[in-house]
Amino acid sequence: IQADGTDGNCVTFVLHNEDHTLGNSLRYMVMKNPDVEFCGYCIPHPSESKINFRIQTRGALPAVEPFRKGLNDLMGVCQHVLNTFEVRAPAFPILW
């Protein structure tokens, strides 16, 4: 959803079947970009499993670019955590 009168630098993305888990971590990653003026999300209603994720950039940078970069950066962080866990987990015995 693009705001009226903008050239794509202010967009609200609707992400279905998502909640605060993705919303807050993605917001953090997107806000690390210095070209992003505003980034936030909301859950329209507790019974709906979707989030409205809004990005507004400075200048002519389209909002979709920091959105993609944020998703890619978040996937990279998750992959790093998974790799670190897989390397170090065998050092701890399972005590059940």
Per-residue pLDDT tens digits for 51-92: 999 999 998 899 999 999 999 999 999 999 999 999 988 877
Q: Which two tokens stand for residue 9?
A: 């630098």
Q: What percent of the chain has pLDDT over 90?
A: 78
Three-state secondary-structure class, residue 25: helix
Domain boundaries, the chain: 3-89
CATH code of domain 3-89: 3.30.1360.10
pLDDT of residue 2 exceeding 90 = no
Helices then strands, counting H and E runs in the chain, come out as: 2, 3
The pLDDT, as a whole number, for residue 69 is: 97
DSSP string, 66-83: HHHHHHHHHHHHHHHHHH
Task: Name the band, by pLDDT with cuts 50, 70 and 90, for residue 29.
Answer: very high
pLDDT of residue 6 exceeding 70 = no
**24-33 average pLDDT score:** 97
The pLDDT, as a whole number, for residue 72 is: 98
